[in-house]
Amino acid sequence: GTNGTLHNVSVLLLEASTNQTVTAKYLLTNQSQGTLEFECFYFKEAGDYWFTMALEVAHNGTQVSHWEQRAFLKVEWPVFHIDLNRTSKAAEGTFQVGLFTHQPLCSFPTGQPDILVDVIFTNSLPEARTSPGQPLEIRTSKRTELSQGQWLQFGCAPVGPEAYVTVVLKLFGRDSVITSTGPIDLAQKFGYKLVMAPELTCESGVEVTVFPPLCIFIQGVITVFKEAPRRPGERTIQLAENSLTLGERRTVFNCTLFDMGRNKYCFDFGIPSRSHFSTKERECMLIQRNIALQQTWGLWQPWSQCSTTCGDGVRERRRVCLTSFPSRPGCPGMSSETSLCSLEECAALQPSSASPLQPQGPGKSNNVVTVTGISLCLFIIVATVLITLWRKFGRAPKCSTPARHSSIHS
């Protein structure tokens, strides 16, 4: 809207925040109107920009400089979507941050600009903080090139059983924030998972494993319930609960908790410290428990006799393992056991045992003497009779000698 002839028309691109000139473009000489294009790579970051047109006007042969009104332009970043994902089991303790946009990106002649990805770990939400102290906060960053889609791997930070992640995408070297998301509750996003067999025959115990969300240390309680028909409003009866210390993932429930036969039981995992939302996970399974003839002991046999007849000794008893699995014999525990047996002192037994033998000794010796004496008497009598007969009939009698001799023997 200027009277006269336009000369040397230029359009300046200015940053509104600093009022610095980014670039300038010119119309052809003696061209009073036209179109100028500013490539996207001039806009290295989002923000406010001004287009200012400078021109020279020839009026009645006189060159007069004149400035036209500025035009305002607001530049925005492409819309980026940020996602979190698990890594492989081999890279446990890490996670991935994904950066994606469906909008076309500008091609820069000197290469794409670098961006900075900031990851901030905290152990509580801002609205849930009640203590006056500073919350635990751990930061980590990675530099990468701007692209339409990529995954970056980060290491987990040890913040405890509750973890929240905030991701901030910035232009490297500038405070310009491209986008951000969070704080993301990792327990709510990824959840806990209970792993167990869908059905098993219980022999010694039922093992339950908890897989936590990424970057979270397990600490909670696993409870077991029997799934059975109930009346409306009736609660399930808790059979047992096992606590998992910080970092522990597995626990075992003894088979004695479960009824004989085939029944359905459910296992719950929960964190007692959480109150603003539930983090419990439930899994159910069928458990078959047979009558306990598998790997059970028979009755103890009677104790054996003491190994000594006096003083301290040892006695022993045994039992037999009753099992219905010949391929896997063996019961927990020992098949035999020993016990001390104490009788009367040996020193006290000697006088008492000798005393009854004392009267028996003379009795036995008297009997021997008696028998020996009787036998000797009979022998003498028989010998006397034989000698007498021999003398009487074998030789003639002489005077009174036989009578005298006979009287002596008689």
| Model confidence pLDDT, tens digit, residues 345-369 | 776 545 544 444 444 455 555 566 6
Q: Do the strands 199-201 and 193-195 form a parallel or antiparallel pair, or are they unpaired?
A: unpaired
CATH 2.60.40 fits 5-75, yes or no: yes
- pLDDT (mean) for 77-84: 90
* Tens of pLDDT, residues 194-253: 888 888 888 888 889 988 888 888 888 889 988 876 677 667 788 888 988 887 889 999
- Cα–Cα distance for residue pair 311/118, rounded to 1 Å: 82
Regarding the domain delimited by 296-347, which CATH topology (the fold level of the hierarchy) does it fall under? TSP-1 type 1 repeat (2.20.100)
Residue intervals in the chain for CATH 2.20.100.10: 296-347
Q: Is residue 121 within 8 Å of 184, Cβ to Cβ?
A: no
- Cα–Cα distance for residue pair 313/307, rounded to 1 Å: 5
Is residue 128 scored above 80 in pLDDT? no
- Cα–Cα distance for residue pair 325/159, rounded to 1 Å: 49
- pLDDT (mean) for 375-396: 80
- pLDDT (mean) for 11-35: 79
Regarding the domain delimited by 191-289, which CATH topology (the fold level of the hierarchy) does it fall under? Immunoglobulin-like (2.60.40)
Residue intervals in the chain for CATH 2.60.40.1930: 191-289
Q: Is residue 24 within 8 Å of 12, Cβ to Cβ?
A: yes
Q: Is residue 260 within 8 Å of 291, Cβ to Cβ?
A: yes
- Confidence class for position 402, pLDDT limits 50, 70, 90: very low
- Confidence class for position 64, pLDDT limits 50, 70, 90: low
Q: Helices 357-394 and 401-409 meet at what angle, rounded to 10?
A: 170
How crowded is the C-beta side of 314, counted as CA atoms within 13 Å? 4
Place of tokens 């045994």: 318
CATH 2.60.40 fits 81-189, yes or no: yes
pLDDT, residue 159, reads 82
Is residue 129 scored above 80 in pLDDT? no
* Residue 170 or residue 362, greater confidence: 170
Q: Is the pTM of this model over 0.85?
A: no
